[in-house]
């Protein structure tokens, strides 16, 4: 569903006229802000299947730290794999990797671990590798990418839209007061129920993640 369609879905629930563009009025822009607020909340609520993607890193011998371009800071790493050596790279704390580097004098070798080491100038997370790569390797970072902001009329989201609409409607009700006797608190309950259902349906696509082993 597009940004414009989401806004009009909320406007109809508010008994307001639909608009032909996001920036048609001050109120449509305000509802657009509510839609983006709701989008961020729904994005944060689960590791949505639709948001899963792969970030690729090509290592350079002697370079331990790499930026995850377009990763942002709200995304989540699921696991990291070295495609060149066909090995899983496990996560350690940055403190632990610094300790390991002290013990080996930062020697170069096969990558074994990674840690998140702050952010770069673009606001993207940086990944520190241990050991420092001694050759060109392709590292795949499987992650949930959460950083979408809808701007243009045709911008669209791939996560479930019903919770976004219902939550944005609740935000709008809180701003203007009840509509047709419905309060913001009551609408928030409906929105949370839709979100729980959407998460449950999405979880069915990844049943292996619901299995725990001792």
**Residue of 110, 120, 104, 61 lying closest to 85 (CA atoms):** 110
- Per DSSP, what are the bridge partners of residue 125? 119
- DSSP character string of 141-171: EEEE-------STT-B--S-HHHHHHHHHHH
Lowest mean pLDDT among 76-90, 139-153, 196-210: 196-210
pLDDT at 148: 83
How is residue 51 annotated by DSSP?
G
Lowest mean pLDDT among 67-76, 81-90, 120-129, 179-188: 179-188
| Cis status of the peptide bond prior to 34, with omega within 30 of 0 | no
Comparison of pLDDT for 213 and 101, the residue scoring more: 101
Q: Is 90 exceeded by the pLDDT of residue 198? A: yes
pLDDT digits (tens, 9 = 90+) for 46-90: 999 999 999 999 999 999 999 999 998 889 999 999 999 999 999
Contact call for residues 142 and 71 (beta carbons, < 8 A) = no
d(CA 207, CA 155): 30
Q: Is 60 exceeded by the pLDDT of residue 179? A: no
The whole-number average pLDDT for the span 107-124 is: 92
- Cα 91 vs. chain centroid, distance in angstroms? 19
The overall longest dimension of the chain from CA atoms, in Å, is: 69
pLDDT at 211: 67
């Amino acid at each position: 569903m597009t940004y414009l369609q989401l806004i009009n879905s909320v406007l109809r629930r508010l008994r307001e006229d639909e608009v032909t563009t996001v920036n048609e009025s001050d109120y449509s822009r305000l509802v657009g802000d509510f839609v983006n607020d709701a989008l961020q909340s729904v994005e944060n609520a689960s590791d949505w299947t639709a948001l899963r993607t792969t970030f690729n890193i090509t290592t350079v011998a002697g370079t331990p730290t790499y930026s995850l371009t377009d990763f942002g800071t709200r995304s989540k790493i699921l696991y990291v794999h070295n495609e060149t050596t066909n090995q899983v790279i496990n996560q350690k704390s940055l403190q632990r990797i610094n300790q390991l580097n002290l013990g080996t004098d930062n020697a170069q070798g096969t990558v074994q671990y990674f840690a998140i080491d702050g952010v770069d100038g673009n606001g993207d997370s940086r990944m520190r590798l241990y050991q420092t790569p001694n050759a060109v390797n392709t590292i795949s970072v499987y992650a949930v990418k959460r950083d979408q902001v809808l701007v243009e009329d045709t911008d669209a989201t791939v996560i479930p839209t019903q919770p976004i609409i219902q939550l944005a409607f609740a935000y709008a009700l809180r701003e203007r007061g009840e509509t047709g006797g419905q309060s913001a608190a009551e609408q928030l309950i409906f929105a949370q129920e839709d979100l729980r259902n959407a998460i449950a349906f999405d979880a069915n696509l990844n049943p292996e993640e619901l299995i725990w082993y001792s």
